[in-house]
Amino acid sequence: MLYKLIFRLIFSRMDPEKAHHLGMFVIRFSSKLQLTKLLPKINTHNVNVLGESFRGYFGLAAGFDKNAIAVKAFGELGFSHIEIGTVTALAQAGNPRPRLFRLKEDRALINRMGFNNDGAEVVAKRLEKLRNSSDILPVIGVNIGKSKVVELADAANDYRTSARLLAPWSDYLAVNVSSPNTPGLRDLQSVTALRPILNAVLEESLDKPVLVKIAPDLADEDIVAIAELAKELKLAGVIATNTTISRSDLKAAVREVESYGAGGLSGAPLDSRSLEVLRLLRTKLSKEFVIISVGGVETQDQVLERIKAGANLVQGYTGFIYFGPLWARKLNRI
C-alpha cells in the first residue's frame, strides 16, 4: 500500500526514465547502507538449473540493470537471478529521448531505449570487480546484443567480441536478437542469420550456458525453427519472450498509444502470448533444454502456471515498476 501511494504521488508524475534512475539510486543507496539486508529471509525452493543453484524461480529480466550497477542490491530484494544488459560490444547512448512511456491502465510500458549501455569492456570490468568481492550474489546472466553502428553482415563478430569479454564473469549468456529498437535486429532471428551468431558466441562462451532470446511476434513455425536450431547447436535453451510490437487489446486510448510512437510493449498485455510461446517451445524441446519464461508475469499464481507449463525459470521487469521493491520476494515465496 505504501509503495502504491509513493508511485501515485511521486513516480507516476515523473518522466519514466528519470523515475527509473531515481529508483535505481534508491535501490543502490539502500544496499550500500545495508538496509536491504534487514529484510526478513523468505522460504523458497532452491532450483538447480544451468549448473547453478537459484534461490527461487523468479529473476529480473534484462533491461532494468543494463550496466551491472545494482546486481547485489536486486539479489537482496529477492530476485533469484539478475540478467544484466542488454550489453553491446561498443558503448552507445541509445535512441533520442523521450524513449520510455507508461500505460498505467494496462500495467505496461513502451520503450525504444535502443540498447543504451556502457559497452562490453566497461561492464566486464564492473562484473570482474563484483565477482572478486566477498558479496553474496544472485546468479548473473549477461544479455548481449548487436551494436547499432555495426552492419547486420558483421553481426556475428560483434556478438563474438561481447561474448569474449563477458563470458568469464557470467553464469550464462543470453543472445538477444529480438529487440524491436535496433534497426534490422529482428531479421537476425531467421535461422540462416542466427546460426553464425550463435556459433560465434558458443566459441567464446568458455562453456558457459548460452540461450537465445526470441520475440513474441514470431510466427509459430519460426519459433519451431529456432527450437530446432537450439537442438542442432546444443544451446542451453531459449528465453521467451522479449517485448512486442503489437498494440492490440490495450485499455489505454488509441490516441495516447499512438502518440508514444514505436517501441516494444512490455507488461501485463504480454501474458497470453508469452504463455503460448512457452507451451509451444516445450512441445519441441526436451527437458534437458532450459526455457526461461518472461512476459506479463505479475503474481505467484502466474509463476506457478509458467513452471507447470514447462518453464525452468521465470523473469519479470515491468511488474517491478507497478508493484514495488518487495514484489520479487512475494513471487519467490513458493
Query: 83, 34, 87: which is closest to 54 by C-alpha?
Result: 83
Rg (CA), the chain: 18
Q: Amino acid identity of 306? A: R
CA-CA distance, 141 to 84, in Å (whole number)? 6
> Considering the chain, what percentage of its residues have pLDDT values greater than 90?
91
In whole angstroms, how far apart are CA 259 and each of 103, 109, 183, 248, 253? 12, 14, 21, 15, 10
Q: Of 179, 205, 266, 293, which is the active-site residue?
A: 179
Query: 98, 142, 86, 58: which is closest to 326 by C-alpha?
Result: 58
Confidence class of residue 4 from pLDDT cuts 50, 70 and 90? low
Per the CB < 8 A criterion, the answer to whether 114 and 146 are in contact is no
Domain covering 2-331: architecture: Alpha-Beta Barrel (3.20)
Residue 20 pLDDT: 94
What does the pLDDT average to over 183-200?
Answer: 94
How far is the first Cα of the chain from the last one, in angstroms, to the nearest whole number? 22
Confidence class of residue 2 from pLDDT cuts 50, 70 and 90? low
Residue 287 pLDDT: 96
Q: Supply the mean pLDDT for the chain.
A: 95
The three-class DSSP label of residue 85 is strand
> Which residues make beta-bridge pairs with 292?
239, 313
In whole angstroms, how far apart are CA 143 and each of 88, 171, 301? 9, 11, 27
Question: Model pTM?
Answer: 0.96
Residue 334 pLDDT: 81
Residue 293 pLDDT: 98
- Predicted confidence (pLDDT) at residue 10 exceeds the cutoff of 70: no
Structural domain boundaries in the chain: 2-331
DSSP string, 2-28: HHHHHHHHTGGGS-HHHHHHHHHHHHH
What does the pLDDT average to over 33-60?
Answer: 91
In whole angstroms, how far apart are CA 52 and each of 72, 80, 86, 196, 330? 17, 11, 21, 27, 22
CA-CA distance, 12 to 45, in Å (whole number)? 34
Tell which phi-psi region holds residue 206, choosing left (phi > 0), alpha (psi between -120 and 50) or beta: left
pLDDT digits (tens, 9 = 90+) for 233-271: 999 999 999 999 999 999 999 999 999 999 999 999 999
CA-CA distance, 213 to 175, in Å (whole number)? 6
List the grid coordinates of 147.
Answer: 551494436
179 among known catalytic residues: yes
What does the pLDDT average to over 88-115?
Answer: 98
